[in-house]
Amino acid sequence: MGQVRLSKLRRFATLAFQNSIRLHSDSILLFNERRHQTAFYISVIAMEEMAKAKELEHFWFHSWGDGRADPDFEQKFLLRLFDHKAKQKAFAVREMLEYSPKFLKLIDSKQLDNKKLRALYVGLERNKDKVRIDGKVLTPGMIKKGDAKRQISLINSELKEFIRLMDAQGGCFDIEEMDSILNNPVTRDLVSSWKSRTGLKSRKWWRTYWRKELNSR
């Protein structure tokens, strides 16, 4: 079985990151046009693309520095990039203790992915392999302005952190082309234009977690 060229992995990561910025920009445009449901959907996709870019960057770096993984392992890694829940978890996993436990549960239970689809489609609620025929009809209107604002703010705060690291350290990623995207004035203007914040990610969750750990001992 063959393997993906390192140059392709590097380009894959760069293009995925660039696409996440495009999707973030589109979600803001839709939000400003009061298309909150579609803005929410696009923002969750932006989150998945950003996670994909970071996972690819990490995989490329270790493949380049530590040697190539087994082809079967590489195939499993690439297949995971098609898994929406896996990408949503990957977005938060490296700083898991800084995220709201409710948000992490939303990801782990696939409720975030279901909510993402609910922002687009009209349908009936499904429980595993059965459709709840006695339930109400679900519509995109159930996704509110606040849902979209929180989701967009989460992506924007992540980009702000990337830019902060970029400015403090002279680089954020191990792939220079990804740093170049962060340094692009268009990217920086986009990030600075969004003024809202969210508590979905905050150091307070880290403090809450360790306080509970200490009290349980």
Tens-place pLDDT, residues 41-100:
999 999 999 999 999 999 999 999 988 889 999 999 999 999 999 999 999 988 888 899
State the pLDDT at residue 215.
62
Residue 137 is assigned to a structural domain of this protein: no
Residue 125 is assigned to a structural domain of this protein: no
- The answer on pLDDT for 209 being more than 80 is no
CA distance 92 to 106: 12
3-state secondary structure of 201: strand
Residue 33 is assigned to a structural domain of this protein: yes
- Bridge partners, 127 (sequence order): 130
CA distance 4 to 9: 7
Share of the chain above pLDDT 90, in %: 78
CA distance 40 to 182: 23
Residue 161 is assigned to a structural domain of this protein: yes
* Total domains, the chain: 1
Q: Is the pTM of this model over 0.85?
A: yes
Q: 7 pLDDT band (50/70/90 cuts)? A: very high
CA angle, 118 as apex, 113 and 120 as ends, to 5°?
110
DSSP 8-state symbol, 136: P
Residue 134 is assigned to a structural domain of this protein: no
CA distance 1 to 14: 25
Residue 86 is assigned to a structural domain of this protein: yes
Q: Which domain holds residue 87?
A: 6-119+145-215
Is 61 exposed, middle or buried (CB count within 10 Å of its CB: 0-12, 13-18, 19+)? middle
State the pLDDT at residue 213.
59
State the pLDDT at residue 22.
98
Residue 153 is assigned to a structural domain of this protein: yes
